[in-house]
Amino acid sequence: MNRMVFWILTVLLSFALLGCLLLTAVQIATFDISIYENAYAKYNLYDTTELTRRDYVDLSRKILEYLNGKTDSIYNRAIIFGSEKYLFSQKELTHMMDVKALFTMGYRMRNLSFLALILLLVAIFHAGNRKKHYMGKALFRASLILFAASTVLLIIISTDFYNYFTVFHEIFFTNDLWLLNPETDLLINMFPLEFFNNMAVRIFMYFAVGILVTASIGYFVYKTADS
């Protein structure tokens, strides 16, 4: 196989892996209810939300069901200190609609990335005489490229998580509804910045495991092809 063609396909493969593994890691971490169960005590959320642990976890579960497309709306009422009240403002509900749209787009991108991954592996497999050799080598090197780039990005983000968290919102949201007020809005008190920091760490851990698996598969195929 031509060296230039091989490297172009390898770089494209790393982008396809990025879409598959990162978005899958986001899904696994986001919908792990144990994270929310642990967050209640870890961040002293009763003090800021006035929700019991059971109510907090139940409400978090309902939000996740909404984001995952299992329900069309977020349950918006609760009994607090003996009286029924609405939990979220219209601003918060509209922002969650934007978040749900982002998740829907993420699912589509993940599926397209998986399709691209398969097509690229097939293209590499049929592009040269040593089919398994090049396919395994490309998968292994694409995984290494992705891990190196992701590690550098993680180090940069960890220097000022709040700033890059803000940049993320400015890129992916076309309005300022995400700028919530902790004095009046429940949503920002349910999920404080520390919660998202911990979530980001978990996402990277799952992502790193995925890269390790693909790198191991690529290395195994690459080495056994030459044996």
Question: Does residue 58 register a pLDDT over 70?
Answer: yes
What does the pLDDT average to over 61-86?
80
The pTM score is 0.89
Buried b (16+ CB within 10 A) or exposed e, 134-161: bbbbbbbbbbbbbbeebeeeeeebeeee
User: What are the C-alpha distances in Å from 167 to residues 99, 148, 173?
Assistant: 15, 22, 10
Q: pLDDT of 172-200, one tens digit each?
A: 999 999 999 999 999 999 999 999 999 99
- Report the C-alpha gap between 226 and 130 in whole angstroms: 9
pLDDT band at 5 (very low <50, low <70, confident <90, very high): confident
Query: What confidence tier does 78 reach under pLDDT thresholds 50, 70, 90?
Result: low
Q: What pLDDT shows up at residue 226?
A: 64
Q: What is the mean pLDDT of the chain?
A: 90
Q: What one-letter code names the amino acid at 165?
A: F
Domain positions in the chain: 3-225
pLDDT tens for 116-131 read 999 998 888 877 667 7
